[in-house]
Each structure stands twice: as structure tokens, then as C-alpha cells.
Amino acid sequence: MIKLLSLYLLKRKQNINLFEQSKKRMKKKVTAQSKSKKYHKPNQKMSWLDKVKLWLLQHSKIAFLLDSSIFFLSACGIIYLLLGTTLLPKQYQNLNYVFPLYMNLVFLVNILYQGIFRDNFDGMTRVQDFANPFLYLNGVGFLFHLFFGIMGRNRKSIPPLLTVDRRYIWFPILTYVVFFLVAMLIILISKHLDNKKREEENGENLLK
């Protein structure tokens, strides 16, 4: 009896797993269709930006190559701008000090590209989604950089901030703090506007 019950429970679990997998597949399919319909509006003239987004959505391999190229070019361009020009004073032209600025600028360029050409900033929720990664990037990144340093692929690491020259340590710390506070301010403002909009909608519904 116990053996039959265990077999029944195992079979039931397998059926549930198959059902969950089919639900996930259907959800992905519906999401892809909704994204395509998002840009395809037969009675409305599409802007050139919507046409670009739709074209990239339909040509995923080319879109992937474009995404990779944007990331590579932005990474190389920004590192040259910070270390190969006179934009920063000579004493700060060291990856130990400019790494936080470099990391945030590369991330900012790519997330703006994704938001403009690959997606839409639809409402304040999208603005929150845009700012949220900077909280984790600079909050967690600052703690790791401060105490442990950053390990690279070739095992050359950026040393902990506590071990570098104390005269210049303020620059990377200030970079982390500024990007963190700006992201937090954007999130707080967007939440405030979202709550205000919701209260206005609730007030209109009560009047009706």
C-alpha cells in the first residue's frame, strides 16, 4: 500500500512538473507575441524608432551582434576617455581610482541603449527598473571594492580601497556614493509620483 501510494505521489509530481513546464512555455510564447503586437498597430503610424525596435525584435541574431558591439565599443571608448585623455588629472588616471566611474558609465551607456532602442520606458515603473540596478551595483560593489578588491579574468585584481594611497581614495568612494544617491533619489521620486497618481485615480473612482 505504501509503495503504491509513493508511486502515485511520484506520478502526480511528474504531472505537476510537466504542467508547470507547459505553462512556462505558453507564458514565454504569449510574452513574445505581446512584444511583437506592442509595436504593430495597424491603424497607427509607426515612428522610425518603433520600426527599429520591431526590426531588431524580428532579427534576434543581428540584435545580439549589435548589443555586443555597443558593449565592447562603450567599454573601450570610456576606458580610453578616462585613462588616455586629459579629462582627469594625471594622479587619478589609474584603474584603482577610476574603476567605479568606468563601471557606472559603461553600465549607464548600455542601459540607455537598451531602453531607447531595445525597449520602452513606459511610465515610472520603467524608471524604477532603470535606477534599481545602480543601487546594487554601487552598494554591493562599494563594499567589495573597499574591503576585498575586484578580481579580474586574468587574475590581476584591483586592490581594496583601504590599501591604496589615502590621498586619492576619496574619488572612487565619492563616485560610488553619488551614483547610489542619484539612483535612490530617482526611485523615491518615481514612487511618490506613482502613489500620487494612484490616489488621484482612487479619488476619481469614488466620485463616480
- Helix, strand, or coil (residue 128): helix
Measured in Å, how far apart are the chain's first and last C-alpha atoms?
Answer: 62
Give the C-alpha separation, 153 to 158, whole Å. 11
On the question of pLDDT at 155 being above 80, the answer is: no
User: What is residue 22's predicted lDDT score, i.e. its pLDDT?
Assistant: 52
Residue 94 pLDDT > 60, yes or no? yes
pTM over 0.85: no
> How many Å apart are CA 163 and CA 184, to the nearest integer?
29
- Looking at residue 115, the DSSP 8-state letter turns out to be I
pLDDT of residue 175: 96
Lowest mean pLDDT across 57-71, 80-94, 125-139: 125-139
Q: What's the chain's Rg over C-alpha atoms? A: 24
Residue with cell 524608432: 49
Provide the β-strand partners of residue 151. Answer: 157
What is the pairing mode between strands 150-151 and 157-158? Answer: antiparallel
What the block records as the C-alpha cell of 114 is: 537598451
Judge whether 54 and 40 are in contact, CB under 8 Å: yes
Note the pLDDT of residue 6. 47
| pLDDT for residue 176 | 97
The pLDDT of residue 124 is: 40
